[in-house]
Amino acid sequence: MAVASAILMVTRRNIVHGAVFLINTLLSTAGIFLLLQAEFLFVVQIILYVGGIMVLFVFVIMLVNLDVSMRQVQFNRQWFVAGALALVLAAQFLFAIHATQAGRDPLRLPAMAAEISPKNTEAVADALFSHYMLPFEIASILLLVAMIGAVVMAKRRVG
């Protein structure tokens, strides 16, 4: 369903329909997280991605007048190269999936912990605050810098 929504999102002419199918794609991804027993990621994906970022997307879509762009030609002339690149990427994905299932380790991902805590929330919290503390703090500072930058850029001069 995630794939179907993604295809529909890209092919809709009406951009609001496209946004709704993007929402559907993100919800399906969240569902995949749930199927993999990562319930915290499921919920956080919905709250942040669908409930926050997509709302902003939809805001911008609705505030911008899109009649002009909707009447233009939708597919450009570079589709051959794009198609070839997409096929190469698909071949890489298929190879990686096949090789991982066959037991070889083409991606060399770090080994998972020997015992996985039954509750995803605690496991994520444990990992964030012990192994991944430095990236967590750096990401927080990055977000803070972005927020301050946005506020400064949007501030109007008084008087």
Binding site for other proteins (CB under 8 A): 14, 16-17, 20, 23, 39-40, 42-44, 46-47, 50-52, 55, 58-59, 62-63, 119, 121, 156, 158-159
Q: How far is the CB of 142 from other proteins (least distance, A)?
A: 19
Q: Which residues of 24-40 are buried (b: 16+ CB within 10 A; e: fewer)?
A: bbbbbbbeebbeeebee
* Per-residue tokens: 104: 């070889």
How far apart are alpha carbons 20 and 25 in whole angstroms?
9
Nearer to other proteins by C-beta: 6 or 58? 58
| Least distance CB 35 / other proteins (angstroms) | 15
What does the alpha-carbon distance between residue 149 and residue 155 come to, in Å, rounded to a whole number?
Answer: 10
Q: Which is nearer to other proteins, 35 or 109 (CB)?
A: 35
In the complex, least distance from residue 23 CB atom to other proteins, rounded to whole angstroms: 7
**Residue 124 Cβ vs other proteins, minimum distance, rounded to whole Å:** 11
Q: Tell me whether residue 9 or residue 50 sits nearer to other proteins (CB atom).
A: 50
Q: Which of residues 55 and 82 has its CB atom nearest to other proteins in the complex?
A: 55
* Cα–Cα distance measured from residue 79 to residue 138, given in angstroms and rounded to the nearest whole number: 39
Distances (CA, A) of 132 to 68, 93, 125, 139: 47, 27, 10, 11
